[in-house]
């Protein structure tokens, strides 16, 4: 592996690790607030216990997310110094605002954690709401920076130097709206389905546990709504990518040749040598219809661009297919859950098993979607402005920090899993039943 490969691998590993905590930091406080609101409204102590335990999980994941986010901040400067030198003045504002949102979240999370018996119920609930809003704001500002990297605006380029910088315009880049919408929905969906999967699995072992029943009900309620909204968001994103990043769309769909009435490809393995996508199931006119709402619209293929500007086609395509496949599986679970609730049926074992199996798919889809965004922009770190190769540090021996950070992340992942199990999920069934009595 080259130094560039190690730099990209280290950044990719850090992002893959951090994005899980970022997503949970957005969604878990919202679920925590819903549980407390239900508890205050109904007088059901199980909901309040659920809010307490989810608040502990929020604190644990917030702490680890803060560590991994700090590491990412250093890596941006150390691994990609030329990128930061060029882009710092342009997109520094959203990172600064993210810092304010982070500190706001930390302050009110402290009030929430230690204010159960020290503040009024209304003040305590509002502190949780502010935590949820701050978490979403943090994600929004970071995604705005990423959207700018995909569709850079807010500056004039003269002799390779950014001039007439407008940070506000940079935050309002053309990709901002659909990326923020897609990312926030994905955060709520992935976290809600992960929680639903865990509690569904535990209900298979403890079918009378009110704690897991209440948790599953909240998780599925939020997850089902997001599973329905996400395809709508995906439609908005597809049309935006077709207009703003046509080469990314071509790589996502394995579309090598420009054509009208382009087919939608399901599956397949793109082959850049033959410029075909064998083994794909093709839906006639499907891509043109989805991307332009016109079954006969022209879709630009990879052949419309210089080959040196092609992203990694196979990786981008497979990541996109993985994201969509996981999304469809979660949508099926959501519709099944809605049907059971409409018929007022208890959760059957088959449904609980399916929900437990599909629980991790939200995070799989989240990681795959992030790969689509990042791999689809390559070989550019700033689309059309700076290539990734030109942004990397000249410092040698990048393999050493890569393996060190890999070991650290594995240790942190194990520690987080242990803490979450003992602080949140390891319940006392007798206590649950007593609390709901």
User: What whole-number distance in Å separates Cα of residue 201 and Cα of residue 353?
Assistant: 7
190 contacts 366 by C-beta, under 8 angstroms: yes
**Token pair of 115 as six digits:** 């204010």
How far, CA to CA in Å, does 87 sit from each of 73, 163, 211, 387? 14, 11, 48, 13
Please write the tens of the pLDDT for every residue from 236-251. 998 999 999 999 999 9
Please write the tens of the pLDDT for every residue from 160-212. 788 888 999 999 999 999 999 999 999 999 999 999 998 999 899 888 888 88
Q: What is the pLDDT of residue 401?
A: 76
293 contacts 239 by C-beta, under 8 angstroms: yes
Q: What is the pLDDT of residue 425?
A: 56
Least confident span in 144-148, 341-345, 433-437 = 433-437
Reported confidence tier of residue 260, pLDDT bands at 50, 70, 90 = very high
User: What whole-number distance in Å separates Cα of residue 23 and Cα of residue 16?
Assistant: 11
* Alpha-carbon dihedral 62, 63, 66, 70, rounded to 10 degrees: -160
Q: Can you name the residues that pair with 266 across neighbouring β-strands? A: 281
Q: What is the pLDDT of residue 22?
A: 85
User: What whole-number distance in Å separates Cα of residue 389 and Cα of residue 199?
Assistant: 45
Q: Which of 195, 231, 210, 229 is nearest to 355 (CA)?
A: 195
Please write the tens of the pLDDT for every residue from 71-128. 787 788 788 888 888 888 898 888 889 888 988 988 999 999 898 888 888 999 999 9
Q: What is the pLDDT of residue 424?
A: 59
What number is the average pLDDT over the span 282-295? Answer: 91
Q: What is the pLDDT of residue 364?
A: 94
31, pLDDT greater than 90: yes
Q: What is the pLDDT of residue 102?
A: 87
Q: Where are the alpha helices (DSSP H) in 115-209?
A: 121-150, 167-171, 176-205
298 contacts 259 by C-beta, under 8 angstroms: yes
User: What whole-number distance in Å separates Cα of residue 82 and Cα of residue 88?
Assistant: 10
Choose between 111 and 158: higher pLDDT.
111
Which sign, positive or negative, has the C-alpha torsion 105, 110, 115, 116?
positive
How far, CA to CA in Å, does 86 sit from each of 64, 279, 386? 30, 43, 9
210 contacts 46 by C-beta, under 8 angstroms: yes
Q: What is the pLDDT of residue 184?
A: 94
Q: What is the pLDDT of residue 355?
A: 93
0.75 exceeded by the pTM? yes
Mean pLDDT of the chain: 87
Q: Can you name the residues that pair with 157 across neighbouring β-strands? A: 162
10, pLDDT greater than 90: no
Please write the tens of the pLDDT for every residue from 388-408. 989 888 877 777 877 887 787
419, pLDDT greater than 80: no
């Amino acid at each position: 592996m080259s130094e560039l490969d190690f730099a990209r691998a280290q950044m990719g590993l850090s992002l893959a690790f951090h994005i899980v905590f970022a997503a949970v930091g957005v969604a878990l406080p919202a679920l925590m607030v819903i549980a407390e609101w239900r508890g205050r409204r109904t007088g059901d102590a199980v909901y309040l216990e659920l809010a307490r335990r989810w608040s502990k999980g929020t604190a644990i994941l917030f702490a680890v997310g803060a560590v991994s986010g700090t590491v990412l901040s250093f890596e941006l400067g150390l691994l990609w110094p030329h990128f930061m030198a060029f882009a710092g003045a342009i997109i520094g504002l959203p990172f600064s605002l993210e810092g304010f949102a982070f500190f706001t979240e930390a302050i009110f999370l402290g009030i929430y954690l230690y204010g159960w018996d020290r503040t009024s119920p209304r003040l305590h609930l509002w502190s949780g709401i502010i935590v949820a809003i701050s978490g979403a704001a943090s994600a929004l500002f970071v995604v705005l920076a990423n959207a700018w990297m995909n569709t850079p605006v807010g500056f004039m380029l003269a002799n390779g130097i950014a001039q007439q910088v407008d940070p506000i315009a940079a935050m309002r880049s053309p990709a901002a709206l659909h990326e923020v919408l897609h990312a926030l929905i994905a955060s709520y969906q992935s976290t809600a389905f992960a929680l639903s999967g865990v509690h569904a699995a535990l209900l298979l072992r403890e079918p009378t546990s009110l704690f897991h029943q209440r948790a599953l009900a909240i998780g599925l309620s939020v997850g089902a709504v997001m599973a329905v909204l996400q395809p709508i968001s995906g439609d908005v994103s597809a049309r935006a990518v077709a207009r703003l990043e046509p080469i990314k769309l071509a790589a996502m769909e394995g579309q090598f040749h420009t054509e009208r009435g382009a087919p939608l490809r399901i599956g397949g393995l793109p082959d850049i040598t033959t410029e075909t996508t064998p083994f794909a199931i093709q839906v006639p006119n499907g891509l043109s219809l989805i991307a332009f709402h016109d079954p006969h619209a022209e879709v630009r293929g990879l052949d419309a661009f210089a080959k040196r500007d092609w992203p990694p086609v196979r990786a981008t395509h497979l990541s996109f297919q993985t994201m969509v496949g996981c999304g469809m599986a979660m949508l099926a679970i959501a519709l099944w859950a809605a049907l059971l609730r409409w018929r007022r049926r208890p959760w059957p074992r088959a449904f609980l098993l399916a929900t437990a199996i599909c629980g991790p798919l939200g995070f799989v889809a989240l990681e795959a979607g992030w790969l689509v965004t990042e791999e689809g922009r390559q070989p550019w770190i700033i689309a059309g402005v700076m290539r990734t190769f030109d942004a990397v540090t000249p410092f040698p021996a990048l393999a050493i920090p890569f393996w060190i950070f890999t070991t650290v992340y594995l240790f942190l992942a194990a520690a987080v899993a242990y803490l979450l199990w003992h602080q949140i999920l390891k319940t006392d069934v007798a206590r649950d039943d007593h609390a709901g009595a």
